Chain A
Amino acid sequence: MTTTTSPAKTTTSVAQPSASLLERFRVPGAFFLGAVLLLGIAPIVLSDFRLNLLAKYLCYAIVAVGVSLAWGRGGLMVLGQGVFFGLGGYAMAMHLKLADAAATGQTLPDFMQLYGTGDVLPWWWKPFANPAFALAMTVLLPMAVAALLGFFVFRRRVKGAYFAILSQALAAALAIWLVGQQATTGGTNGLTDIQGFFGYDLNDPVNQRTVYFIIAAVLLLLMAAARQLFVSRYGELLIAVRDSEERVRFLGYNPANVKLVAYVVAAGMAGLAGALFVPAVGIISPALIGIVPSIGFVIGAAVGGRASLVGAVLGAVAVAWTQSTLSDAYPAAWTYLQGLLFVVAVGFLPGGLASLVTVLRKRRIPTRTTGETA
């Protein structure tokens, strides 16, 4: 933007520092604003019921942070995030169920007594009685599964549609498996009726508020972490892999590792979201993690803008909010709207609502479009 006339030159040279100052504080400022909104204003303005709903949406937003990383920046179409959400959720719920049972002096969670599997806790339930182990598993288990699948899939350069189908099949397989193992996983009902959260009664509104604060804080932290990842060297590399994998390979990097990291981190975030979802909502079930909800995790990010962190998070919250507002009163209308969202957001506005401003601005000033590809 070098200008020829001297008055213009002086104005730009004066404007330059303030513009860069604005640029410098834009991101921390937005982050601060978000923190004030989530941690300060929302708990005051919203009723307990609304705040609890918001806590649920924020869990979806945490998943969306991971989706934005893996799909938006890495081009990996992650259609199986429900798997990781579910693994995290089940790990947390298993511990809470065991803690609930122990609080009432029983050795088995209520549903196991109901389905009559005997008095013995299955061996793979036992370690989850330990809170530290269970908490670690909510993140490590999804990451391990993602690492295993990702390693084998990316190593052999299975990508694009093939990867999308495989991740989707994984979601289907886990949901079907959980339904089949009713005696040890609660089957279709899932793990329900969770009362306590590490010794605190979840029916107490004060404790529910605390759960909201935890979820909001985790979301903000993960957004900050993801933002750092986006602007790091790794973030650049990830975009390069998305846009031209072969070229990255010829430059001497191994795209498989780059993709694997994004996939595993996204899985860990989804697992954490699932773990936080359980105390907020009090249930985890196969219906929340199968093919349909797994695609649902992606649509929020797609609507808001998959490559934009804030866009993906706002999109996830907005879609979840619309869903719960509409789906009870007008279930048919919601399904049509959801379908339409997929078609319009992905088909005609691939950058999501976050790109709307840019798209409109470019349309107005056509000369600006040249050489400004992302």
Chain B
Amino acid sequence: MTVILNQSFTGVSIGAVLLLIALGLTLTFGQMGVINMAHGEFIMAGAYTTYVLQKSISGAGLSLLVALPLAFLVAGAMGALLEWLLIRRLYTRPLDTLLVTWGVSLMLQQLARDIFGAPNVQTAAPDLLTGNISVAGTTLANNRLFILGLALLCVLGLTLILRLTPLGRRIRAVVQNRDLAEVSGIATERVDRTTFFIGSGLAGVAGVALTLVGPIGPTMGTNYIVDAFLVVVVGGIGRLKGSIITAFALGVLQSVLEYSTTVSVAKVIVLVAIVAFLQWRPQGLYTLRTRSLA
């Protein structure tokens, strides 16, 4: 029983990390059908922001709290810049953005290597987040709980923005029908840039969270990016609900399989499961109902 609980908690915490990363992707992928491979490097930017802050501000707790909004701004600004420089020129060829942003991701990784050095660096976690809590015989690591809380907070924040604010209404309109939104007087280009800013900013927040569970390195984003994209593919684009369910489902599946087999076999089985799932729902778990032929 404890094993099951422990494994499902591990799964949920893997899911929380995936969710944090995939949230931003759902937004940018859903908005423009753009596959931003540099998303992983925005995670890296967030993580290095935390690192630099901790160097300059003593006190791990304070620097972490400052890092959260700052990483959002740093990564968000990078995303908006990328959108302005490259992605908006490639609207008609969304598939090609994958390769272009991969090129950007290579350059950003090398930039990080030149600035911070190739070896991984570490940040110290605040004392509050280093311990464990025991609940019903299972040990829950505080840092994992923090990430779970952060992920849920981001989901809540994003949902509120999308549901209640004028900006959210415009974003949803553009996702659902770009042409109709445009003739209704929405400045779709500006909405695109804002969406990209928020989506990339969320990657930065994910980067801050990742400093609590692993080292910070130039290639840290690459390790997560493919899994995060799988979450979006399975969840269905343009809907947060799909990504949330999928992130946790994949996390739990991964951790259960890792426990019963090995990490490498688990990866293969998860992939097979995803292909099988797409047989059943080729457009993902939740899809926007449109009249387009797909």
Residues of A participating in the B interface, judged by any CB pair closer than 8 Å: 75, 77, 79, 149, 152-153, 155-158, 160-162, 164-166, 168-170, 172-174, 176-181, 246, 291-292, 295, 298-299, 302, 332, 335-336, 338-343, 346-347, 350
Contact A347 B35 (CB under 8 A): no
| Bound-state Cα–Cα, A246 to B294, Å | 9
Closest-by-CB residue of A relative to B37 is A295
Interface of A is mostly: helix
Contact A342 B114 (CB under 8 A): no
Contact B271 A170 (CB under 8 A): yes
Instruction: State whether A168 and B226 are in contact (beta carbons under 8 Å apart), knowing that A176-B267, A179-B264, A346-B103 are contacts in the complex.
Output: yes
Instruction: State whether A177 and B264 are in contact (beta carbons under 8 Å apart), knowing that A157-B282, A338-B106, A346-B100 are contacts in the complex.
Output: yes
Interface of B is mostly: helix
Contact B86 A161 (CB under 8 A): no
Contact A161 B264 (CB under 8 A): no
Residues in chain A near residue B294, CB distance under 8 A: 157
0/1 per residue, B83-121, Cβ < 8 Å to A? 000100110011110111011111101100110000000
Instruction: State whether A177 and B268 are in contact (beta carbons under 8 Å apart), knowing that A166-B274, A336-B110, A339-B107 are contacts in the complex.
Output: yes
List which B65-92 residues lie within 8 A (CB) of chain A. 86, 89-90
Closest-by-CB residue of A relative to B38 is A339
Residues in chain A near residue B86, CB distance under 8 A: 343, 347
Residues in chain B near residue A168, CB distance under 8 A: 226, 229
Contact A173 B103 (CB under 8 A): no
Contact A173 B275 (CB under 8 A): no
Residues of B participating in the A interface, judged by any CB pair closer than 8 Å: 29, 33, 35, 86, 89-90, 93-96, 98-100, 102-107, 109-110, 113-114, 222, 226, 229-230, 233, 262-265, 267-268, 271, 274-276, 278-279, 282, 293-294
Instruction: State whether A156 and B279 are in contact (beta carbons under 8 Å apart), knowing that A161-B33, A164-B98 are contacts in the complex.
Output: yes
| Bound-state Cα–Cα, A180 to B263, Å | 8
Given contacts A166-B278, A302-B99, A338-B103, 4 further A-B contacts (CB under 8 A): A156-B278, A295-B102, A339-B107, A342-B104
Contact B267 A342 (CB under 8 A): no
B97 nearest CB across to chain A (Å): 8
B217 nearest CB across to chain A (Å): 15
Contact B100 A343 (CB under 8 A): yes
Closest-by-CB residue of B relative to A292 is B222
